[in-house]
Amino acid sequence: MKTKLFSMSRISVWHAVLVGILGAGLYSTYVRFFHGLGASTALRDGFPWGIWIGFDVMCGVALAAGGFTISAAVYVFHADRFKPIIRPTILTAFLGYLLVCVGLMFDLGHPWRIWHAIVMWNPHSVMFEVAWCVMLYSTVLALEFSPIFFEGVGWKKAADAVHQLIVPLVILGVLLSMLHQSSLGTLFLILPTKLHPLWYSPILPIFFFISAIALGCGMTILESFLSYRAFRKRIEMHILSDLGKVMAVALMLYLFVKYLDLSSRGVLGLAFQPTYEGRMFLFEMALGVVAPLILLLINRVRRDEFGLFAIACMVVLGTVTNRLNVATTGLESYAGQYFPSWMELSITAMIVSVGFVAFGLAVKYLPVFPKEELEAESRLPVPLLPFVDALARPLGRPVMTVFVATVVLVIAMSTLAYSGLLARKQVTAEPPVQQPDISAGLAEMNFREVLITKGSESPGQVTFNHATHVDMEKPACADCHSQRFRILKTTALPAKVDMHDDQHCGSCHDGKKTSFNVSEDCETCHSGQ
């Protein structure tokens, strides 16, 4: 393999960016593990899950959807024309799951106890299902990926052995992946009162599943273009165009079911209200479903390299937005605003960058892409980004117009969403404080008399009378019963204690405040025998 990972001119820029991201990420990692989640994240009691769950876990799993979509197509449906792209999709799925696992290590309070899920079962928990899906599917993906590795290092026999098992392995993988994709939606089924009605739906698992298929196709298209650019390894355009068709079917189904769901729950109107949630929902739908669907239905666009690239970008970004909306935006109306801290963002950026580097290294050193194509393509000059290339052609211009229109749409929506956010902030006005009527409670007041143990030099027994010490306008038990007079063990005062000191009776009975001084008239208190 003669191709270089990056050409010389790009090394300095990309390497500097990478080093910067890694540096910031490593610092944040240190803060996370040595000073805790409070010091490193914007998470709080009302917002226990943030970007590490919303992006690293939810999107990591979603991005791996290409793996199960393509391996099912090739091994189960015998759609052999997709065979050339099966390896890059399995590689991406494997890396996606590593992103999930690493993200979880940062997010969990006690990551080293992750094995607890294996021995301490609770089948009623969706998280339990998720944990098992992550473990099993990561194993399956590692096995599916292993032949690529074995071939790369020249262990032919091992590769053949795994290949014997590939069909049951793929079927298991597809089942696990389908379960996992949908279970991430199931996680939120238990939040009917917290998640905004635009996202809370009894069929959330179905939405997560359908969108995962569309996203899986989108990721595969994106990857093949990016590898084409970086490594001059290209996938036949007609295969990608077919993927586009699968994506169109998935998006159409998604749109149809989404419409039925929203209208049957009577919340369709919320989407068009000028609220933060409404805007974010339209944003997600326009970018990830409607715009790409319209573009896909135009043959000229679907068969165009740049057109397909633009569509794939939209679907990926739209689905990522959807996952983030479900995990964070949709909860803000209940729990208040959340925006990740820079440390949360830098750790996510670090994990994603490592994923990209790992993808690059795997493509460089392992037989991920078919060999014949590699040799044929390596003679071609390195192309620029497909869309720069596409601009030069007449076919590219209408597509570019659509793309620019989408970008404008995105910016407009973001602005509107932000204005919705500002509007919400201003609404919070404090209601006037109303003083409670406590007369009924006072009538029930049960005062206890406390006998204080008589000391050896005491002139007489003291009986503490609650009734004379409580302000009936504003009873405040907690004022006295803080540290000195324990509320649960009032009789267990230390045996030898000077009750006259400023820690006990003397703290109030000092003659200065409303009360008399402890040293004045003994009889007042020491009236007993």
Partner 1 sequence: MSTASGTGRKGILLDTTRCVGCGACYQACKEQNQLPKTADSFLQDNLSANTFTVVNNRSGRFVRRMCMHCEEPTCASVCPVGALQKTASGAVVYAKEKCIGCRYCMQACPFGIPKYEWESTFPYVRKCDMCSGRQAKGLATACATACPTGATQFGDREQLIGEAKQRMAANPGRYSGHIFGLEEVGGTSVMVISDVSAAQLGYPDNLGKEPLPQLTWNVLEKIPKAVSFGGVLLGGIWWITKRRQEVAKAEGKLRRELPKREEL
Cα–Cα distance between 350 and 30 in angstroms, integer?
13
Q: How far apart are CA 313 and CA 319, in angstroms?
A: 10
Instruction: Name the residue nearer to partner 1 (CB basis): 58 or 402.
Output: 58
- Rounded to a whole number of angstroms, the minimum distance from the CB of residue 90 to partner 1 is 17
Tell me which amino acid residue 354 is.
Answer: V
Q: Is 399 in the site for partner 1 (CB under 8 A)?
A: no
Q: Which of 19, 405, 477, 522 binds partner 1 (CB under 8 A)?
A: 477
Q: In terms of CB distance, is 178 or 363 closer to partner 1?
A: 178
Q: Which stretch binds partner 1 (CB under 8 A): 250-258, 275-283, 443-451, 495-503?
A: 443-451
Token readout for 393 is 């052609």
Is 476 a binder of partner 1 (CB under 8 A)?
A: yes
- Comparing CB distances to partner 1, the nearer of 86 and 117 is 117
What stretch of H or E contains 465?
strand 462-465
Q: Does 469 bind partner 1 (CB under 8 A)?
A: no
Q: Please identify which residue in 55, 75, 94, 338 interacts with partner 1, judged by CB under 8 A.
A: 75
382 is an interface residue for partner 1 by CB under 8 A: no
Q: Which CB, 38 or 266, lies closer to partner 1?
A: 38
Which residue from 25, 28, 29, 37 is in contact with partner 1, where contact means CB under 8 A? 37
- Kindly tell me which residue out of 372, 430, 437, 457 binds partner 1, with binding defined by CB under 8 A: 437
Which of the ranges 44-52, 225-233, 257-265, 355-363 carries the binding residues for partner 1, by CB under 8 A? 44-52
Q: Quick check: 191 binds partner 1 (CB under 8 A)?
A: yes
Q: Kindly state whether residue 449 participates in binding partner 1, applying the rule CB under 8 A.
A: no
Nearest to 315 by CA among 408, 218, 418: 218
Q: Is 461 in contact with 528 (CB distance < 8 Å)?
A: yes
Taking the complex as a whole, the smallest distance from the CB of residue 314 to partner 1 amounts, in Å, to 30
Closer residue to partner 1 in complex, CB, 187/315:
187
List 154, 381, 436, 494, residue binding partner 1 (CB under 8 A)? 436
User: How many alpha carbons fall within 13 Å on the CB side of residue 523?
Assistant: 0
36 counts as binding partner 1 under rule CB under 8 A: yes
Give exposure, 217-256, as e/b (b: 16+ Cβ within 10 Å).
bbbbbbbbbbbbbbbbbbbeeebbbbbbebbbebbbebee
Q: Which of 70, 187, 230, 291: binder of partner 1 (CB under 8 A)?
A: 187
Task: Write down the residue that tokens 């720069």 correspond to.
Answer: 388
DSSP single-letter state for residue 456? T
Site for partner 1 in 277-306 (CB under 8 A): none
Q: Is 48 in the site for partner 1 (CB under 8 A)?
A: yes
Give the Cα separation of 362 and 359 in Å (integer).
5
307-312-314 Cα angle (round to 5): 95
Residues 339-358 that bind partner 1 (CB under 8 A): none
Nearer to partner 1, 116 or 397 (CB): 116
CA-CA distance, 84 to 142, in Å (whole number)? 19
The amino acid at 286: A
Stretch that binds partner 1, among 35-43, 150-158, 297-305, 519-527 (CB under 8 A): 35-43
Q: What residues between 93 and 132 interact with partner 1 by CB under 8 A? A: 107-111, 113-114, 116-117, 120-131
Binding part of the chain for partner 1, among 148-156, 382-390, 419-427, 441-449 by CB under 8 A, reads 441-449
Rounded Cα gap, residues 351 and 21, in angstroms: 9
What is the sign, positive or negative, of the torsion defined by CA atoms of 301, 307, 312, 313? negative
CB count within 10 Å of CB 411 equals: 10
Among 10, 44, 81, 300, binds partner 1 (CB under 8 A): 44
Q: How many residues bind partner 1 (CB under 8 A)?
A: 81
Shortest CA distance to 526 belongs to which of 459, 450, 457?
A: 459
Q: In this structure, are residues 247 and 218 in contact, taking their beta carbons and an 8 Å threshold?
A: yes
* Binding status of residue 408 toward partner 1 by CB under 8 A: no
Q: How distant, in Å, are the alpha carbons of 169, 180, 184, 290 from that of 177?
A: 12, 5, 11, 26
Q: Is 435 in the site for partner 1 (CB under 8 A)?
A: yes
Q: Residue from 14, 259, 418, 447 that binds partner 1 (CB under 8 A)?
A: 447
Looking at residues 198 to 217 of the shown chain, list those that interact with partner 1 (rule: CB under 8 A). Answer: 202, 205
Does 454 interact with partner 1 (rule: CB under 8 A)? no
Binding segment (CB under 8 A) for partner 1, from list 134-142, 316-324, 364-372, 439-447: 439-447
Long-range Cβ contact pairs of 100-104 (< 8 A, separation 24 or more)? 100/56, 100/57, 100/60, 100/61, 100/64, 100/134, 101/134, 101/138, 102/56, 102/351, 103/52, 103/53, 103/55, 103/56, 103/57, 103/60, 103/348, 103/351, 104/52, 104/56, 104/57, 104/134
Site string for partner 1, 414-433 (x = CB under 8 A): -------------------x
Binding mask 160-179 for partner 1 (x = CB under 8 A): -------x---x--xx--xx
Name which of 274, 359, 293, 280 is nearest 323 in CA terms.
280
Answer whether 145's CB lies under 8 Å from 91's CB.
Answer: yes
Per CB under 8 A, contacts with partner 1 among 228-257 are none
Binder among 21, 72, 102, 312 for partner 1 (CB under 8 A): 72
Is residue 467 part of the contact set for partner 1 (CB under 8 A)?
A: no
Cβ 162 to partner 1, closest distance in Å? 18
CB 360 within 8 A of CB 369: no
Closer residue to partner 1, CB minimum distance, 189 or 497: 189
45 binds partner 1 (CB under 8 A): yes
